[in-house]
Structure 1
Amino acid sequence: MAFRGRKVWLWRWRRNPLKRRADTLEAWVLLGAWALTLLVGVFSGWAAAGAVEHELARERATWRPLQGLLTEQAPGKASAQPGAAGDRVWAKVRWTAPDGSSHTGQVRVDPGSPAHSTVTLWTDPRGHLVTEPADPGRARVRAALVGVLAGCACAAVPFVGGRVLRGRLERRRVDQWDADWARFDPLWGRRQPG
């Protein structure tokens, strides 16, 4: 088992007669990689969160609720607690868009809802079915989650690039040590025990 001394912080930045140019270069590469990782992660996450929140606000502003009629009875039995989200089923509905055109589609309703009953559905400006837009609180949470994921994914690029570059520098340093050792080993081997 190899002996390891106590860890010295910021050793790459201290003066040392044994420190090579490769050590200084590695220190700058690590500093640059960490700074770039932080900047890319924060700015890309912030931009993604802003874009998602802007899009969800646009949906809230343009999507409108309409009343539609079920064209057939919804499958299943009517439950004792209507409106429970987990118990909703798909049913065919008909509605009239704001421009007067008639549309049909499927929406989720309570099981056993009778035919010709009214349901609330959401449409975009062209009259196509959409889901209910997220309220401002949910939009912030959704935007924050997307921002965190996008920031982490984008920050991985400079982080991995820095690790790859550091690995190459490490291999180069080991090769230099091997070359120096091969050059000086024969000189040390000639010494006579004395």
Structure 2
Amino acid sequence: MPLRTTAMLSRLRRGPLRRGCDVAEAWLVIATALLMAVAAPAAGVAAANAVAGAAERQSQDRHGVAAVVTESPPVVIGADPTGGVGGRVHATVRWTAADGTSRTGETTVPAGLRAGDRTTAWLDGRGALLRDPVTGGEAMVESVAVGTVAAGGTCLLLLAAERAGGALLTRRRYALWEREWAEGDAQWGRRETGL
């Protein structure tokens, strides 16, 4: 067993040197470990599910319409014109709404399109243009990232709480030692002086 675990478990055993704050510190470490094992994954899964649910609602609610690029987007250095990673740029597009009116707005389009090229624009259920529609792969990556951050953040919060609790218990332990040393000094001082 690692040294810290052995030291924590030894504080739970009965003995003349065991103090209440030693037992409390051991239980604090055990409770923190159990909470990290349960709460961190639960927080990660909950956060990932929330992001995935929002992306799912957006993808169910959206629909594509034919659009025309109205002005050439700026050239992006490093963009892959074949549609690979990073192969989308912002451009102004024009489309015909359900009521027959012509509308314009800015959205992402594949890199390499120029003014007059046709593309697909994505609208939400209300007919508003989605600036950066999320693809299934992007939603998966985002939900995993958010879940990982939520789980890691939960672990960090629990560790910080354990460290703060440990510091308070250490302060209490030092106060007890100080008081016991003072009592011992008073007793030993009387013995030496013959009182």
TM-score by length of 1: 0.77
Cα RMSD between the aligned structures? Answer: 2.9
Tell me how far apart the structure 2 counterparts of residues 119 and 7 of structure 1 sit (CA, whole Å). Answer: 61
- Please say if residues 53 and 140 of structure 1, whose CA atoms lie closer than 8 Å, have aligned partners that are also in contact: yes
Tell me how far apart the structure 2 counterparts of residues 54 and 128 of structure 1 sit (CA, whole Å). Answer: 20
CA distance 1:154–1:100, change in 2 (3 Å):
farther
- Please say if residues 69 and 91 of structure 2, whose CA atoms lie closer than 8 Å, have aligned partners that are also in contact: yes
Identity of aligned residues (%): 35
Q: Which residue of 1 aligns with 2:61?
A: 62
1:1-194 to 2 correspondences below 5 Å: 9=6, 10-75=9-74, 82-84=81-83, 86=86, 89-109=89-109, 110-111=111-112, 113=114, 115-130=115-130, 131-135=132-136, 137-189=137-189, 190-191=191-192
Q: Which runs of 4+ in 1 moved over 6 A?
A: none
Tell me how far apart the structure 1 counterparts of residues 187 and 82 of structure 2 sit (CA, whole Å). Answer: 88
Q: Deviations over 1:114-169 (max 9, x none)?
A: x332122222122222223322x443332121111112223333332222122111
Structure 1: which 5+ residue stretches go unaligned? 1-5
- Please say if residues 105 and 129 of structure 1, whose CA atoms lie closer than 8 Å, have aligned partners that are also in contact: yes
Tell me how far apart the structure 1 counterparts of residues 171 and 55 of structure 2 sit (CA, whole Å). Answer: 49
Tell me how far apart the structure 1 counterparts of residues 69 and 99 of structure 2 sit (CA, whole Å). Answer: 20
TM-score by length of 2: 0.77
Report the secondary structure of 2:167's partner residue. Answer: helix
Number of residue pairs the alignment of both structures matches:
182
Tell me how far apart the structure 1 counterparts of residues 20 and 75 of structure 2 sit (CA, whole Å). Answer: 75
Report the secondary structure of 2:17's partner residue. Answer: coil
Quick check: 86-95 or 11-20, which moved more? 86-95
